Amino acid sequence: MNLPARLRNCAPLIFGLAAASLGVGALRAQTAARTSVPASADAFVDVTQRLGVNFQYRSSHTSKKYLLETMGAGVALFDYDNDGRLDLYLVNGAPLSDPTAKATVPQKTDSQYWNRLYRQKPDGTFEDVTERSGLEGVGYGTGRRRG
């Protein structure tokens, strides 16, 4: 596959996030130092922590099983700072009351529920720039669209 360089550099992380969101497991990928896993490896290797992506999707678990609880997180890859590298935006849930009153907007009551923006650095690792960018988010996130 002939991908632009900025996509090739993020491909291992993109595939890893997709695999994690499906519950498949960890990622087989190249590290930031470009040390690759042998092609014959039968297991994925989780490189998220090593690359600086410290995200855990948080969802509520109520007895009502609201539709929001059944949907997973969203992710967007875009160059938020115009440096030519793809950055990573991950959408997170929020706590729900059990039961939740109609027309109630869930609130991100704690930083563990924040959406996260990770800026890709020149070495291929990421830094969390959520707070300084003001993109913590509101409500219960289930997807991300960029147009």
Query: 1-5, 9-13, 21-25: lowest mean pLDDT where?
Result: 21-25
Find how far residue 86's CA is from the centre of its chain. Answer: 13
pTM of the model: 0.68
Q: What is the pLDDT of residue 52?
A: 96
Query: Do the beta carbons of residue 73 and residue 57 sit within 8 Å?
Result: yes
Rounded average pLDDT over 3-28: 48
Q: What is the pLDDT of residue 9?
A: 57
Read off the pLDDT band of 129 (50, 70, 90).
very high
Q: Does pLDDT of 29 surpass 50?
A: no
> Cα(112)–Cα(57) distance, rounded to whole angstroms?
9
Please give the structure tokens belonging to residue 100.
């939740």
Residue 26 to residues 42, 129, 133, 142: CA-CA distances in angstroms? 12, 24, 28, 22
Rounded average pLDDT over 25-30: 33
Residue 124 backbone class (left: φ over 0; alpha: ψ -120 to 50; beta: rest): left
- Side-chain half-sphere CA neighbours of 66 within 13 A: 21
The one-letter amino acid code at 52 reads G
104-120 confidence digits (pLDDT tens): 888 888 899 999 999 99
**Partners of residue 120 on adjacent β-strands:** 126
> Cα(88)–Cα(118) distance, rounded to whole angstroms?
5
